[in-house]
Amino acid sequence: MVQEILIIEKESITNCTFNKETEIVQQKDLLKKIQNATILGNTHHSKVSIIFQDDDSVKRVDTTIWAAGPKFICLKGGIWIPINRIIEILI
């Protein structure tokens, strides 16, 4: 069964919740992809596709990653996504 991916705007992420415990399969080398996407965002203002799962469904957002910490990534405008909910980064 293939799960549908809902494409959302970056500003809609503030309406997402990440409270439920969930197991997701993450992309191999995800942390390296996050690091590369952050460099692209800061040097070239390049957008990437981030596929993540909130408490309701799998979503995709096309945006720039400005910073990454050990548990979250930060998008422009101070919007945060937990790394443990990111499925894949498409550069």
**Two tokens, residue 82:** 């937990």
CATH code for position 52: 2.30.30.100
Evaluate whether residue 78 is within a structural domain.
yes
Cβ 88 vs Cβ 34: under 8 Å: no
| pLDDT on residue 27 | 95
- 73: β partners: 68, 81
Question: Which pTM does this prediction carry?
Answer: 0.95
pLDDT over threshold 70, residue 89:
yes
Total Cβ atoms within 10 A of residue 1: 2
pLDDT in tens, 18-29: 999 999 999 999
- 1 — pLDDT class (breaks 50, 70, 90): low
Instruction: Tell me the C-alpha distance between 1 and 8, whole Å.
Output: 22
Is 33 a domain residue? Answer: yes
Q: Look at residue 19 and tell me if it is in a domain.
A: no
21-66 pLDDT, tens digit per residue, is 999 999 999 999 999 999 999 999 999 999 999 999 999 999 999 9
82 burial level (CB within 10 Å; 0-12, 13-18, 19+): middle
Tokens of 69: 């910490």
For residue 66, the model assigns a pLDDT of: 96
Within a domain: 65: yes
CA 60/CA 55 separation, integer angstroms = 14
Q: Residue 58: give the domain boundaries.
A: 25-90
